[in-house]
């Protein structure tokens, strides 16, 4: 059995000697290579580490007698080779990660250290795995890249924390329906969503100021340097992008819900039509009037933009991001589209209201004067009205009191008009997003018709009892 083990041992050692003789080439290779993506690659053959582990194992097992003479030329080098390989592997991995992840403004802040790293890598290009002082070189490169990597990673983590806070800004618009079918009234522009958004922006702003101070210390930079100001501008661009996203979110919600082509949504807003001395609207439908529908939505959009006032610029003491956001062309385009929808809806609502103008005599004319004229002259024919228009100064209607039948014809017309207008829907859909609530107008109009009808009936009863109605045969 011992003879078999000895023979097997001799066979393994013999095979190992052959493999060790083949280590000359990989041991004499350069430490680093590069690829087409400008990455540094560690040029290390795994067979070297395998040999090193086997030698270490045999020594630990007190089996040095099994080590072949050929190992002597590698033993001194292999002693620290595993540590060197580990240090260089970490260094190369960090370098490549940094080279790909560094933004321009970060690279400028570590320009001096980065140049030192590049110089060390350049010095390592002619070195091989059997070069002298390899451990010292690996430790120097490792320490330098580790220091830079820790700085960059920590500063990036700080910035990422702020970015994560900023991402919460655009999760929900500041103006939303309570339910998919509910209407907006915009009587209170400082909604809970708005207040929450301001709170989120304030928290992120405070965190960004903390990050700015901490990263200044980590980069060991001069706050007045061009490099630091560029880095600050980079951080400001993150805030600006976040504000743009959150304002866009709210604008797009308003735009979607005021789009007349969007038939999938329920009505979004309601305008009320009333009858006072004339037809009026609440809010007004005239663009330039204070408190008009146009002004309501202008105020809504301005409130959305006011979020940018909740955070001060990092580079400009006292100023906010409002002016920057206000110049954003994309957001300006969304605002313009919204206001076009509002103007279009208001104009169409006015067209709907215009349909009732033909009944304006009911509220514009004095009922007592009209009734008195009717009692004196009876009904005026269309021809007589045309003559009056042409000869207004000369026209004098003859005294011709109405007959009972003419009186009743007028009353019937009022009753028919009442039935007709009673069929008016209390709420008119102007566009898919805009409703015109005519409930109050309808009630007022019907009440006016009742008054006119009642007045004519009362006057008929009065004249009939006095015998002052003209008989048909009187026209003889």
Tell me what the mean pLDDT of segment 340-359 comes to: 94
Tell me what the mean pLDDT of segment 50-73 comes to: 61
What pLDDT, on a 0 to 100 scale, did the predictor assign at position 29?
Answer: 86
Tell me what the mean pLDDT of segment 54-59 comes to: 64
What pLDDT, on a 0 to 100 scale, did the predictor assign at position 72?
Answer: 57
pLDDT digits (tens, 9 = 90+) for 22-52: 666 777 788 888 877 789 999 888 777 766 6
Distance CA 342, CA 247 (A): 19
Among the residue ranges 82-86, 321-325, 377-381, 437-441, the one predicted with the least confidence is 377-381
Q: Do the Cβ atoms of 34 and 96 come closer than 8 Å?
A: no
What pLDDT, on a 0 to 100 scale, did the predictor assign at position 228?
Answer: 94
Domain extents for the chain? 19-148, 172-349, 357-384+396-466
Q: Is the pLDDT of residue 394 over 50?
A: no
Among the residue ranges 105-119, 364-378, 381-395, the one predicted with the least confidence is 381-395
Q: How far is CA 369 from CA 10, 148, 155, 364, in A?
A: 135, 95, 85, 12
What pLDDT, on a 0 to 100 scale, did the predictor assign at position 81?
Answer: 84
What pLDDT, on a 0 to 100 scale, did the predictor assign at position 73?
Answer: 58
What pLDDT, on a 0 to 100 scale, did the predictor assign at position 92?
Answer: 95
Distance CA 147, CA 136 (A): 17
Residue 281 corresponds to which tokens in the numbers above?
């609207």
Tell me what the mean pLDDT of segment 137-142 comes to: 96
- Percentage of the chain with pLDDT > 70? 82
Distance CA 433, CA 338 (A): 12
pLDDT digits (tens, 9 = 90+) for 412-464: 999 999 999 999 899 999 999 999 999 999 999 999 999 999 999 998 888 87
Averaged pLDDT of the chain:
86
- Distinct helix (H) and strand (E) counts, the chain: 18, 6
pLDDT category at 16 given cuts 50, 70, 90 is: low
b/e 176-215 (16+ beta carbons within 10 angstroms → b) = eeeeeeeebeeeeeeeeebeebbebbeebbebbeebbeeb
Write down the CATH number for the domain with range 19-148: 1.20.140.100
């Amino acid at each position: 059995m011992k003879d078999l083990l000895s023979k097997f041992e001799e066979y393994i050692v013999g095979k190992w000697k052959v493999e060790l003789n083949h280590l000359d080439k990989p041991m004499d290779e350069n430490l680093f290579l590069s690829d087409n993506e400008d990455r540094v690659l560690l040029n290390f053959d795994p067979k070297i580490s395998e040999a090193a582990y086997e030698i270490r194992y045999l020594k630990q097992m007190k089996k040095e007698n099994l080590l072949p003479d050929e190992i002597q030329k590698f033993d001194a080098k292999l002693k620290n080779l595993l540590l060197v390989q580990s240090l260089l592997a970490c260094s190369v991995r960090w370098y490549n990660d940094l080279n790909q992840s560094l933004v321009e403004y970060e690279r400028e802040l570590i320009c001096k250290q980065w140049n030192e790293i590049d110089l060390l890598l350049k010095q390592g290009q002619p070195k091989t795995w059997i070069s002298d002082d390899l451990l010292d070189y690996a430790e120097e490169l490792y320490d330098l890249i580790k220091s830079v990597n820790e700085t960059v990673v920590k500063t990036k983590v700080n910035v990422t924390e702020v970015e994560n806070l900023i991402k919460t800004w655009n999760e929900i618009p500041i103006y939303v329906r309570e339910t998919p079918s509910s209407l907006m009234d915009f009587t209170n522009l400082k909604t809970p969503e708005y207040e929450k958004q301001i709170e989120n922006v304030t928290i992120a702003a405070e965190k960004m100021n903390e990050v700015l101070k901490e990263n200044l210390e980590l980069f060991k930079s001069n706050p007045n340097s061009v490099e630091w100001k560029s880095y600050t501008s980079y951080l400001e661009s993150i805030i600006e992008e976040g504000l743009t996203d959150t304002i866009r979110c709210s604008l797009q919600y308003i735009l979607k819900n005021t789009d007349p082509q969007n038939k999938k949504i329920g009505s979004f807003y309601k305008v009320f039509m009333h009858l006072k001395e004339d037809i009026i609207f609440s809010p007004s439908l005239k663009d330039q009037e204070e408190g008009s529908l146009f002004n309501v939505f202008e105020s809504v959009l301005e409130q959305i933009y006011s979020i940018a006032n909740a955070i001060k610029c990092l580079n400009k003491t006292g100023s906010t991001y409002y002016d920057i956001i206000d110049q954003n062309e994309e957001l300006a385009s969304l605002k313009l589209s919204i206001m076009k929808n509002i103007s279009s809806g208001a104009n169409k609502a006015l067209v709907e209201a215009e349909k009732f103008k033909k009944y304006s005599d009911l509220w514009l004319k004095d009922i007592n004067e009209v009734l008195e004229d009717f009692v004196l002259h009876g009904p005026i024919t269309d021809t007589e009205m045309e003559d009056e228009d042409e000869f207004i100064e000369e026209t004098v209607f003859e005294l011709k009191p109405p007959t009972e039948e003419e009186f009743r014809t007028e009353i019937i017309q009022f009753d028919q008009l009442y039935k007709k207008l009673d069929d008016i829907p209390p709420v008119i859909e102007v566009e898919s997003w805009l409703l015109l609530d005519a409930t109050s107008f309808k009630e007022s109009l019907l009440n006016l018709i009742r008054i006119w009808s009642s007045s004519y009936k009362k006057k008929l009863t009065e004249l009939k009892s006095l015998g002052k109605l003209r008989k048909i045969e009187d026209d003889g």
